Amino acid sequence: MQDRRLALIKLMLSLFLLCLVACVHERPKPKDTISVCDPSGCVERPKNYESFNPESALPDNDPGGKIAALEELAKNDPRAAYDLALRLFRGDGVRQDSYLSIKWMRDAAERGHFEAQKALGRLYLTGLGELGSDPGEAEKWLTICASKGDKEAAQLLREATVARQSQQAEWKWLNRWRSTFNSYWYRGYSYNSYWQGNQWYWY
């Protein structure tokens, strides 16, 4: 009996030690790789991995630093901000970037540059690239230009007002009917068939 008890204690002690050893594990070493994922899947790459940067393969477009100097001027002079915006829009001496172009154009307009205000009015009236039309914002800038006596801005302002009112009317119509139309998807449209047993039947 004593031997059985001793054997049972040894067995339990052995199991306990095995469990204890199983719980002890080494800390994982920091990975020297990172996961890079795209639509085709994920791969492990070294931490210092760089994907191809086409700009590094191209020659410097501004070896004399003219654009960098214009950017510095643009921080304090709205005329320079306007010129920089045009160059960014056209890709003249710099990589084309419509987002930065609009940012600098807006900066010049907010500091009172008339041509920038008028350009923003046109831009918001018609839209540009991924930037859609915003007749309300166009009205804001064209009102400023028209108040200074600019005839073209006054004509564009009338068009922006009509476009904004049309846009508001469309929005009101959509919102007026949206809840009604959406409820049809849940309650208004009737099914043509029903399931019974192992097949569909038509009403």
- CA 142/CA 84 separation, integer angstroms: 21
- CA 85/CA 99 separation, integer angstroms: 10
Beta carbons of 106 and 134 less than 8 angstroms apart: no
Both 162 and 117 in a single domain? yes
User: Is the residue at 58 inside a domain?
Assistant: no
Q: How does pLDDT run across 17-31, given as a tens digit for each residue?
A: 666 666 666 665 666
Q: How does pLDDT run across 116-160, given as a tens digit for each residue?
A: 999 999 988 888 767 778 888 889 999 999 999 999 999 999 988
Residue 148 belongs to domain spanning: 113-171
Both 78 and 94 in a single domain? yes
User: Is the residue at 200 inside a domain?
Assistant: no
User: Is the residue at 93 inside a domain?
Assistant: yes
Q: How does pLDDT run across 98-112, given as a tens digit for each residue?
A: 889 999 999 999 999
* Total number of domains in the chain: 2
User: Is the residue at 59 inside a domain?
Assistant: no
Confidence at residue 146, expressed as pLDDT on a 0 to 100 scale: 93
pTM over 0.75: no
Beta carbons of 22 and 7 less than 8 angstroms apart: no
108: exposed, middle or buried (C-beta count within 10 Å: 0-12, 13-18, 19+)? buried
User: Is the residue at 165 inside a domain?
Assistant: yes
